[in-house]
Amino acid sequence: MAFGRLERTAKPTPMSDINMTPLIDVMLVLLVIFMITAPLMTASLKLDLPKTEGTSASDVPDFIAVSIDARGQLYVADKPVTAAAFKDQVQAAARKSPTTEVQLRADKAVPYGTVAELIGTVQAAGLNRIGFVAEPAPSTSAGTATPATPAASR
């Protein structure tokens, strides 16, 4: 009985490289999904800010009363000042006592950017205690506040 020779073919060698194409495709799809959904998540944020009932002035001995009217004019202790004079007064107060509090009264019509610049000026001078002064919420006879009307869009 004659047996033929069984030839063995060489087996393919194991692949030592990782195919990156599917991984890159998945990552690009996830990137597109996050790019589309991220703005939608921030646009749907609705805040119901609390009313300030029972607020009282703090008993801080050292403070500076700063006000901003609707036109953006700065007032320190109800006296109009320029931005340079305001910066000098805040720096002088910080040198006198670094624990001096700035009590900020801003009109509703003042843009947030103006208030943020004012806070930056105060912090650059060395004062970190900033208090926002608000009026108490009006209350009805039932003891609940009336809802505020939405601001007109500009």
CATH of the domain at 106: 3.30.420.270
Look at residue 31 and tell me if it is in a domain. Answer: no
Look at residue 35 and tell me if it is in a domain. Answer: no
Residue 144: pLDDT over 70: no
Alpha-carbon distances of 134 from 19, 52, 86, rounded to whole Å: 62, 7, 22
Residue 27 confidence (pLDDT): 95
Look at residue 77 and tell me if it is in a domain. Answer: yes
The whole domain housing 87 covers: 65-132
Look at residue 14 and tell me if it is in a domain. Answer: no
Look at residue 97 and tell me if it is in a domain. Answer: yes
Residue 33: pLDDT over 60: yes
- Give the single-character DSSP code of 62: S
Look at residue 72 and tell me if it is in a domain. Answer: yes
With a CB cutoff of 8 Å and minimum separation 6, the contacts of 103 are 57, 58, 63, 64, 65, 66, 131, 133
Q: Domains in the chain: how many in total?
A: 1
Residue 43: pLDDT over 50: no
Query: Which band of pLDDT confidence, cut at 50, 70 and 90, is reported for residue 5?
Result: low
Look at residue 127 and tell me if it is in a domain. Answer: yes
Note the pTM of the prediction, 2 decimals. 0.50
